[in-house]
Chain A
Amino acid sequence: MKSTSLRRAAAPGALALSAVLAVSACSASNEEDDDAANTASVEGGDELSGTLNGGGASSQEAAMEAWRAGFQEATNPDVTVNYDPVGSGGGREQFISGGFTFAGSDSYLEGEELAGAEERCGGTVVEIPSYISPIAVIYNLPDVDTLNLAPEVVAGIFAGEITAWDDPAIAEDNPDAELPDLEINPVHRSDESGTTGNFTSYMDATASDVWTFGETEVWPDVGGEAAAQTSGVVSAVEGGEGSVGYADASQAGELGTAAIGVGEEFVEYSPEAAAAVVDASEQVEGRGDTGLVYDLARDTTEEGVYPIVLVSYHIACLEYEEELDAELTRAFLTYVISPAGQDAAAENAGSAPISDTIQEQAQAAVDQITAG
């Protein structure tokens, strides 16, 4: 009931927004060429029709369902958006080979892949951070309501160096909690995953002297219990008292989630705190105003920032050969980063809506997508 009413409320907003954007986008491109397709979309954003094929990161799958439904229902009933969750690597690969018109990826393009993508697009590549998902450190200690974990402690637990809950390192940050004399059972993903990649990247950035295994999407040989997929990790943590794991915050359920040490304070995850980390990060140099990619400031000390997040990008071309591809991509990505799209994803996938600043920058990048 709740979801229906929200979607209904959001729909007119999205319609109005995309119509405005379609007009502004076209007025920019009209200066260069004035063809029939552009004129058609000026009359109404809802007259687009066609098929948009994309694929990539499976982390975006749940959000993509919401986006696809919202995009089609609200404004573009004749557009079919396909998203094949083949994984980030596969998504980038098939974007470069031309199989996908756009790709979703948990990491941005670098080196050879960036060169390949530029070659495919015949120029600049658009990358926007459209999906931010907080990763929670979940634990199963029935008598402990709040748990503060400093970065070195998180790394120590998952590296197998801190093995008991009443370890002085944990007790120091939790003076009020009654920590049991129990062994810690760290749970990790057994499948390759962007969640693991981002979690290890966090430990690598904040406590590299404790976590010496670097950033890796496949869990390294440090032991601990292995479980398949997010649901497997959650059920493994639920199943064993004294277990601790990492999972999409939206899936944490009844389990306790740890507050993570940032600077002098401990931050509980929240959508705002998770989205704030992108704002606190520096854009990667040399990528212009369309390559909105960030090396996340995991070791930030800024107040109210939750540093363990997964940021997933959408990758598209600045110039497409086909007018239709450009229009569909522009319209769809516009919806994705719009407040309506971000709210739909937050509701369906538990993601954190991107901040207004990022939204503006991303919109400016998306507006530049044209057909060459």
Chain B
Amino acid sequence: MATRTRSEHPPVRRGDRIFSATALGAGILILLILAGVAIFLLVQGVPGITAGRGSLSGRDSFWAYVGPFAFGTVFASIIALVVAVPIAVGIALFISHYAPRRVALALGYIVDLLAAVPSVVFGVWGITVLSPALVPIMQWLEDNAGFLPFFEGPTLTSGRNMFTAGLVLAVMILPIITAICREVFLQTPRLHEEAALALGATRWEMIRMTVFPYGRSGIVSASMLGLGRALGETLAVALVLSGSAIYTFNTLAAENSGTIAANIALQFPEASGTAVNVLIATGLILFVITFAVNYTARKIVDRRSEFSGAN
């Protein structure tokens, strides 16, 4: 009798109620904040989408205005991702499977520390140190790989082009991708690894057979988190990138596609009237892009998880 009552009405203490209410509140709060941001972007942005030439720096329509910046945003982020993901996976593997324990710990701290550097510092570093240092490399790429549209040149003498901006972004998203990959790789079931080794696999073969399949969805979601940060990164790009409102795959020249976030930061201080709405509307586009990226990432992770080897 007593057992039945308990299963129908589990005992509820005050602590349980408070905890469940707090958790529920936190869940609702995040939805409210997100909804609030979305509503703000919509209400303030819609007048911008229909704005006339005067507020669009001479462009005919809002879409013609935002297009190059949307392209530049995605392009810069993809460069960052292409550079950062292999390095991050390498660092994570080194920390989780190769390095001696003490080295791994220290290296982990250092990578995490990189995440704590403010983006304006990355921007200033990009201008003063990285871009001049990269100019010889860019020059070499232009001379030797100039047949590729990416390295057409002519190389900008100050080095403040998409090439540098992409690399600065890569450095900035490196820690978050590394940290997540490291944690995922460490979760690989010991039995899988030992089974692979017992079958005569070398360490690299073991990693390919067990760690990668198990961690694939983790790598994807880590990359998507990194991509999210790269898409929204503002100040470093605003400082480093010589951005214009054009479409170009050329990463070395003086004219590069600007990014949405950097454009907002640059134009907002002097903007007034409808021009502000236009900038907020470009923010809405960035919001949509980021949402689409996250949604796609979630889809990929969901599909991959069935074959991840975790089951």
Q: 8 Å CB contacts to A: which residues of B216-274? A: 238-239, 241-246, 254-255, 258, 266-267, 269-273
The answer for the CA separation of A193 and B211 in the assembled complex, in Å, is: 53
Q: Which residue of A lies closest to B131 (CB)?
A: A239
The answer for the CA separation of A217 and B154 in the assembled complex, in Å, is: 27
Picked from B132, B246, B269, the residue with its CB within 8 Å of the CB of A221 is B246
Contacting residues, chain B, for A237 (C-beta < 8 A): 158
Interchain nearest-CB distance for B161 vs A (Å): 9
The answer for the CA separation of A316 and B45 in the assembled complex, in Å, is: 33
Q: Check B269–A226 contact: CB distance below 8 A.
A: no
Residue among A224, A237, A241 facing the most chain B CB atoms (10 A cut-off): A224
Chain B 156-183: CB-based contact to A (< 8 A → 1; otherwise 0): 1111100000000000000000000000
- Please judge, given known A-B contacts A226-B243, A228-B238, whether A236 and B158 are in contact too, CB under 8 Å: yes
Picked from A88, A90, A217, A239, the residue with its CB within 8 Å of the CB of B132 is A239
Q: Check B238–A88 contact: CB distance below 8 A.
A: no
Contacting residues, chain A, for B267 (C-beta < 8 A): 191-192, 218
Interchain nearest-CB distance for A120 vs B (Å): 16
Q: Check B272–A93 contact: CB distance below 8 A.
A: yes
Contacting residues, chain A, for B273 (C-beta < 8 A): 89, 93
Q: Check B266–A228 contact: CB distance below 8 A.
A: yes
Q: Check B270–A226 contact: CB distance below 8 A.
A: no
Q: Check B271–A89 contact: CB distance below 8 A.
A: yes
Q: Check B58–A223 contact: CB distance below 8 A.
A: no
Interchain nearest-CB distance for B150 vs A (Å): 18
Q: Check A241–B266 contact: CB distance below 8 A.
A: no
Interchain nearest-CB distance for A179 vs B (Å): 16
Chain A 67-82: CB-based contact to B (< 8 A → 1; otherwise 0): 0000000000000000
Chain A 220-249: CB-based contact to B (< 8 A → 1; otherwise 0): 110111111000100111011111000000
The answer for the CA separation of A190 and B258 in the assembled complex, in Å, is: 9
Q: Which residue of B lies closest to A185 (CB)?
A: B157
Q: Check B258–A243 contact: CB distance below 8 A.
A: no
The answer for the CA separation of A221 and B248 in the assembled complex, in Å, is: 13
The answer for the CA separation of A226 and B158 in the assembled complex, in Å, is: 11
Contacting residues, chain B, for A193 (C-beta < 8 A): 270
Q: Which residue of B lies closest to A182 (CB)?
A: B157
Contacting residues, chain B, for A185 (C-beta < 8 A): 156-158, 254
The answer for the CA separation of A90 and B131 in the assembled complex, in Å, is: 35
Q: Check B158–A239 contact: CB distance below 8 A.
A: yes
Interface residue tally of chain A, by bracket? Answer: 35 or more
- Please judge, given known A-B contacts A192-B270, A239-B160, whether A221 and B238 are in contact too, CB under 8 Å: no
Q: Check A235–B127 contact: CB distance below 8 A.
A: yes
- Please judge, given known A-B contacts A185-B254, A220-B58, A226-B243, whether A87 and B154 are in contact too, CB under 8 Å: no
Picked from B131, B154, B241, B272, the residue with its CB within 8 Å of the CB of A183 is B154
Interchain nearest-CB distance for B208 vs A (Å): 44
Q: 8 Å CB contacts to A: which residues of B53-74? A: 57-58
Residue among B128, B154, B157, B275 facing the most chain A CB atoms (10 A cut-off): B157
Contacting residues, chain A, for B266 (C-beta < 8 A): 190-192, 228
Q: Check A216–B271 contact: CB distance below 8 A.
A: no
Q: Check B243–A190 contact: CB distance below 8 A.
A: yes
Picked from B58, B238, B242, B246, the residue with its CB within 8 Å of the CB of A225 is B242
Q: Check B255–A224 contact: CB distance below 8 A.
A: yes
Q: Check B239–A225 contact: CB distance below 8 A.
A: no
The answer for the CA separation of A310 and B44 in the assembled complex, in Å, is: 33
Interchain nearest-CB distance for A220 vs B (Å): 7
The answer for the CA separation of A89 and B156 in the assembled complex, in Å, is: 33
Q: Check B242–A242 contact: CB distance below 8 A.
A: no
Complex A-B: 25 CB contacts under 8 Å: A89-B273, A93-B273, A185-B157, A190-B258, A191-B267, A192-B267, A216-B57, A216-B58, A218-B267, A220-B58, A221-B246, A223-B254, A225-B156, A226-B258, A227-B160, A228-B239, A232-B127, A235-B128, A236-B242, A239-B127, A239-B131, A239-B157, A240-B157, A241-B157, A242-B157
| A-B CB proximity, top 3 nearest | A240-B157, A89-B272, A239-B158
Chain A residues packing against B (C-beta within 8 Å): 58, 85-90, 92-93, 183, 185, 187, 190-194, 216-221, 223-228, 232, 235-237, 239-243
Chain B residues packing against A (C-beta within 8 Å): 57-58, 127-128, 131-132, 154, 156-160, 238-239, 241-246, 254-255, 258, 266-267, 269-273, 275
Given A85-B269, A220-B57, A240-B156, 5 more A-B residue pairs with CB atoms under 8 Å apart are A87-B272, A183-B154, A185-B156, A239-B157, A243-B158
